[in-house]
A = this chain, B = another copy of it.
């Protein structure tokens, strides 16, 4: 019975996600659903991405969080459209779902957006289970979290098109084994792309920016 309820919830979510996807498709918007554990560096990556690409494409962001608008506040200075979703009062504490995104996009002028980045709630578990209408999921992990996370949270890595290994500026201060990490990503997702970077220092970020530009360009 319990499983049945969960299946119904996921089926209803997927149907609405498909509707969202059609809306985005029609407007030619490339949509990234960005997942990670708390504190892996999603918002810092957004800041650097917007600063670098804001002049050549129109970017909007949907911020998912349980409480606070801290992440949205950090993006204010870039003067792009940002919608904050706080999940604590809408029954979905730990992840964004298609219905939340469906409501959020009413607050955006979709006809003037090329790239929409959805920063999910910081959580490597449930956000991986819910489609929201994205073109693809991107999962980020920081080297400070350890090299054993892929097989412990396999779905997040399995459903993501791109894996970002962040905070490589801390690599020499940790025991992180990059070869092991890459090997295990390939185990759960042979076609995953993997990029290493430091959103903070900017090292390697050009590969991420190229990846984004290529996706948005192909969309037009």
**Which residues from chain A sit less than 8 Å from chain B, CB to CB?**
2-3, 6, 37-40, 65-68, 70, 91, 93-94, 121-126, 129, 141-142, 144-146, 148-149, 151-155, 167, 169-170, 173-174
Contact = CB atoms under 8 A, between A and B. Distances in A.
B2 A91 contact: yes
25 contacts: A6-B91, A37-B37, A37-B122, A37-B145, A38-B152, A38-B153, A39-B144, A39-B145, A39-B146, A39-B149, A66-B125, A66-B154, A67-B151, A68-B151, A68-B152, A93-B125, A94-B94, A94-B123, A94-B126, A121-B125, A122-B153, A144-B167, A169-B173, A170-B173, A170-B174
A69 B5 CA distance: 28
Could you say how many copies of this chain the assembly holds? 2
A129 B129 CA distance: 20
Contact of A94 (B6, B67, B125, B148): B125
Ranked nearest first, the 8 interchain pairs of A and B with the lowest CB-CB distance are A39-B145, A144-B144, A94-B125, A37-B38, A39-B146, A37-B37, A68-B151, A38-B124
Nearest to A142: B144
A6 B68 CA distance: 23
A39 B122 CA distance: 13
